[in-house]
Amino acid sequence: MIIAIASGKGGTGKTTVATNLALVISEKTKVQFLDCDVEEPNAHLFLKPELQSSEPVSIPVPRVDLERCTYCGICAEVCAFNAIMVGKETVLVFEPLCHGCGGCTYFCPEKAISEVDRPIGVLEKGPAGPLSFVHGKLNPGEALSPPLIKAVKKTVDPSALTIVDAAPGASCPVVEAIQGSDYCLLVTEPTPFGLNDLIIAVELLKKLNLPGGVVINRSLGGEGEAEMESYCRQEGVPILLRMPWDRELASLYARGEPAVAHLPAWRKHFAGLLEQLPVEIEEGR
């Protein structure tokens, strides 16, 4: 079982939900936590893993043998990302634009293009108390995160219940992180921006044919929240948890401490959230 935690916008409390839910589940069964927000991973600040291994993650980029190249331009024509420019006497490769698809190598009639690995980040893993923890860290300045997210997801342990913490938004990194999951929790906030981005996220789940529910953080009631509730009813997306504005919770977050480890009331909230998820727990596995 893979449960993804996503959000239409940043700052909604996605990682708060992901880490606290993972800790509650770990009391009952084997849990793996994958932080796929590789541009800004922060789950480690709360779960405090003992990272025991680190390995580079690379993508293949072209190298052109100018002695064999006839400057026909086919490689540039097949590149959908404009990562190759062919001139009269030279070929320029723009590595940050390359997605590593291998099309230029495959279609080159002179076999003048080979591939070399270009590191884009690192994959780190280790235990975090009862959890198995994995995250990716994208190198500064890199624009291409899906290959690193894919590498993180390749570590999925089929014998564990896996929590995937996705990046905020609804772009390619989010799609890469949540696709293939069994269920997706969307964390939002009752503001106009929160509703706008929740609508985008719900549409994404529809495209992926992925069932999901909503967690409303910083819940205060009022007109904004009523509008969000109306939208969720209209779309048939259940609201599974309302997290009230809580100064003590915010204080724990600022210190990098999970709420369920210190506040019994919040442990009860997340245990209630778990009970509403379509998860079959094998106790003590």
Residue 283, in any domain of the structure: no
Tell me the C-alpha distance between 153 and 180, whole Å.
10
- For the chain, the distance separating the N- and C-terminal CA atoms, rounded to the nearest angstrom, is 13
Residue 88, in any domain of the structure: yes
CA pseudo-torsion sign 157, 162, 165, 167: positive
- Sorting pLDDT into bands at 50, 70 and 90, what band is 196? very high
Tell me the C-alpha distance between 46 and 48, whole Å.
6
What contacts 56, CB < 8 A, 6 or more positions away? 119, 121, 122, 123
Residue 285, in any domain of the structure: no
Mean pLDDT of the chain: 93
Per-residue pLDDT reduced to its tens digit, 65-120: 999 999 999 999 999 999 999 999 999 999 999 999 999 999 999 999 999 999 99
| Residues 224 and 270 both lie in one domain | yes
In terms of pLDDT, which residue wins out, 231 or 223?
A: 231
| Residues 252 and 168 both lie in one domain | yes
CATH number at 85 reads 3.30.70.20
| Residues 76 and 212 both lie in one domain | no
- The answer to whether residues 209 and 179 touch, using CB atoms and an 8 Å cutoff, is no
* Residue 215: domain span: 6-56+120-276
Residue 282, in any domain of the structure: no
CA pseudo-torsion sign 130, 132, 254, 263: negative
- Check residue 261 and give its pLDDT: 92
Check residue 160 and report its DSSP letter: S
- The answer to whether residues 187 and 217 touch, using CB atoms and an 8 Å cutoff, is yes
Tell me the C-alpha distance between 106 and 278, whole Å.
44
Is residue 33 helix, strand or coil?
Answer: strand
- Check residue 77 and give its pLDDT: 96
- Check residue 2 and give its pLDDT: 96
- Check residue 284 and give its pLDDT: 52
- Check residue 257 and give its pLDDT: 94
- Sorting pLDDT into bands at 50, 70 and 90, what band is 19? very high
The pLDDT of residue 8 is above 90: no
| Residues 155 and 268 both lie in one domain | yes
Q: In what order do the strands lie in the sheet with 53-64?
A: 53-64, 113-128, 131-138, 31-35, 161-165, 2-6, 183-188, 212-219, 239-244
| Residues 220 and 100 both lie in one domain | no
Residue 61, in any domain of the structure: no
The pLDDT of residue 221 is above 60: yes
CA pseudo-torsion sign 131, 135, 198, 207: negative
Q: Backbone dihedral region of 189: left (phi > 0), alpha (psi from -120 to 50 degrees) or beta?
A: beta
Tell me the C-alpha distance between 116 and 104, whole Å.
13
| Residues 95 and 191 both lie in one domain | no
The pLDDT of residue 280 is above 90: no
Rounded mean pLDDT, 211-231? 88
- The answer to whether residues 58 and 138 touch, using CB atoms and an 8 Å cutoff, is no
- Sorting pLDDT into bands at 50, 70 and 90, what band is 11? confident
Query: Is pTM, for the whole model, over 0.85?
Result: yes
| Residues 262 and 232 both lie in one domain | yes
* C-alpha to C-alpha distances, 186 to 5, 26, 232, 263, nearest whole angstrom: 6, 21, 11, 23
| Residues 49 and 171 both lie in one domain | yes
| Residues 86 and 212 both lie in one domain | no
| Residues 34 and 169 both lie in one domain | yes
Residue 180, in any domain of the structure: yes
The pLDDT of residue 136 is above 80: yes
- Sorting pLDDT into bands at 50, 70 and 90, what band is 282? low
What contacts 165, CB < 8 A, 6 or more positions away? 5, 14, 15, 18, 19, 33, 34, 35, 36, 37, 43
Per-residue pLDDT reduced to its tens digit, 239-261: 999 998 888 988 999 999 999 99
Is residue 76 helix, strand or coil?
Answer: helix
- Sorting pLDDT into bands at 50, 70 and 90, what band is 225? confident
Residue 207, in any domain of the structure: yes
| Residues 154 and 31 both lie in one domain | yes
Rounded mean pLDDT, 32-41? 97
Tell me the C-alpha distance between 96 and 236, whole Å.
41
The strand pair at 91-93 and 84-86 is best described as: antiparallel
Lowest mean pLDDT among 26-35, 61-70, 272-281: 272-281
Total domains in the fold of the chain: 2
- Check residue 9 and give its pLDDT: 85
CATH number at 185 reads 3.40.50.300
